[in-house]
Amino acid sequence: MKSIYLSIIFICLYLFQSELFGQTSYYYPLTADYTEASNSTADLFPWPNGLGQTGTFVNRSIPVTTCAGGGNFLGYEYETNAGLSFDIPNGFMNCEYSIQFTWNYDNPITGPGQTAHPWIRMFSFGYTDDSGINLWTESPNVNGKLFVWHLVDTVWLGFWSLCVPDTASLSPLNYFNTSDYYRLTFTRNCSDQFKVYVNGSYVGGFVDHRERYIPQAPFNKIVFFRDTVEVTGCYPGGPYPNEASSGFIKDLVISNHELSATDILNDYSNFCPTVLPIDWKFVQGEPTQEGNLLQWQVNFPEFINYFEIERKKAEGDFSSIGNIDGGTNYSEDFFFLDQQPDENIAYYRIKAVDLDGNISFSKLIELTSDMPYKLYPNPAKDFIWVNVSDDTQRNYLEIYSVDGRKWKTVELKHNHNKISISDLPDGVFILKMNGKTPLRIVKTR
């Protein structure tokens, strides 16, 4: 009779918890911190390795073998044998769930006693029995397959423990490599069916009849990537708790329900960055004593392959004068200094080329400079270039130190003049053309 009452209480509690949570998902972008997107109290913590290292938030380039358009992933790069820990809220997860994340692993380490085929821990619900979802690397060691390994028993052979595991392959051989990124989905239902999907497709599964992959009281955590020192020793001279490597994770989603194959395929459809139309936020320029300075900003610069700066005179066609790589910061300003504008009036435009090869031009920028000459570089070491726009008279350049001493006088020709300053001491000098329009320059070693 007592057992019937306990069963009724358990069923009522389970129904209450299910009603409380419903179909709930916790989403961790992992782009700048460990916070859940909706600011819930479901905690995600960095788990340090034995050296106290955890990880950093980084921006990684996507190879074209992963996404044809390339791009960048913002995410979390964890150290070797470090990881993340999810504290399972009470009643949130029982026998059914889904776990999703984007993942890449670095070259696997080889621990003591492991001369080949090191394991890489993916995640586990336990803490002391070495059960977990792993990547088992093959020859060459950078390639591997997903593998489930859980300890059933150990047999003492007098000098070392023989592990008796229950294992199953979860993906084809050599399915993974260290170059590409993968969207992984793990699901479990209350019929103990555990399934694995990679990039939207089902690759393997097993029956979790020993219920190793459900919350384990009193631990009640999911540990990602971190292998622990408490595992049972199963090898000569063991244990070897370092079955882990550094890696990268983003967009971790933990749900208390089993996703359908359609849901998983739809999720993968958003895996690669979408190349959006180029949106010029602003483009501007100004003349300076060093040359004409251009500045611009676009939305989603991570989708830009490169910018090409073009210039033309009042008459004639545009020609390229330089390139700048695209960016990854959503608020990044781009700059280009044209140190050799040919005339006082110059026209500029900026060509943006996205990852798919699409082209967009900025608005036209007209810059007019009333300065009779320009100089570069500044600071300078051995020589400077002086560009003169006025050829209606003879022009002279005078160089003074800040104490008023004149160091040299040079007659200038129209357009480009190369002037040696190697004989000047280090310091600040004042340059004047025809005794007017002083400019300041720094002479360095």
What is the C-alpha separation between 267 and 273, in angstroms, rounded? 13
Are residues 103 and 184 part of one domain?
yes
Are residues 284 and 257 part of one domain?
no
Residue 13 placed within a domain:
no
Answer positive or negative: Cα dihedral of 312, 318, 322, 326: positive
pLDDT value, residue 68: 76
Structure confidence by residue, pLDDT tens digits, 73-109: 999 999 888 899 999 998 898 899 999 999 998 876 5
pLDDT value, residue 158: 58
> Taking all residues of the chain, what is their mean pLDDT, rounded to a whole number?
79
Are residues 254 and 120 part of one domain?
yes
Report whether 308 contacts 351 (CB < 8 A): yes
Smallest Cα–Cα separation from 341: which of 324, 323, 322?
322
* Residue 12 CB contacts under 8 Å (≥ 6 apart), including other chains: none
Question: Any idea what the CATH number is for the domain that residue 413 is in?
Answer: 2.60.40.10
Are residues 352 and 379 part of one domain?
no
Using the predicted structure, report yes or no on whether residue 15 has a pLDDT greater than 70: no
Are residues 128 and 260 part of one domain?
yes
Are residues 218 and 326 part of one domain?
no
Tokens 């501007």 correspond to: 284
Residue 257 placed within a domain:
yes
How many distinct structural domains can be found in the chain?
3
DSSP 336-400: EEES--SSSEEEEEEEEEETT--EEE---EEEE---SEEEE-SSBSSEEEEEE---SS-EEEEEE
pLDDT value, residue 197: 93
Residue 11 placed within a domain:
no
pLDDT value, residue 162: 57
Across residues 166-190, what is the average pLDDT?
85
pLDDT value, residue 1: 36
Residue 274 placed within a domain:
no
Structure confidence by residue, pLDDT tens digits, 212-230: 889 888 888 999 988 754 4
Are residues 118 and 232 part of one domain?
yes
What is the C-alpha separation between 100 and 265, in angstroms, rounded? 12
Question: Residue 391: which domain range?
Answer: 373-443
Q: Regarding predicted confidence, which is higher, 218 or 198?
A: 198
Structure confidence by residue, pLDDT tens digits, 390-426: 666 788 888 988 777 889 998 887 777 889 999 999 9
Question: Any idea what the CATH number is for the domain that residue 98 is in?
Answer: 2.60.120.200
Q: CA 15, 20, 22, 23: dihedral to nearest 10 degrees? A: -120
Residue 89 placed within a domain:
yes
What is the C-alpha separation between 359 and 347, in angstroms, rounded? 19
Report whether 193 contacts 70 (CB < 8 A): no
Structure confidence by residue, pLDDT tens digits, 50-71: 788 999 999 999 998 998 778 8
Residue 1 placed within a domain:
no
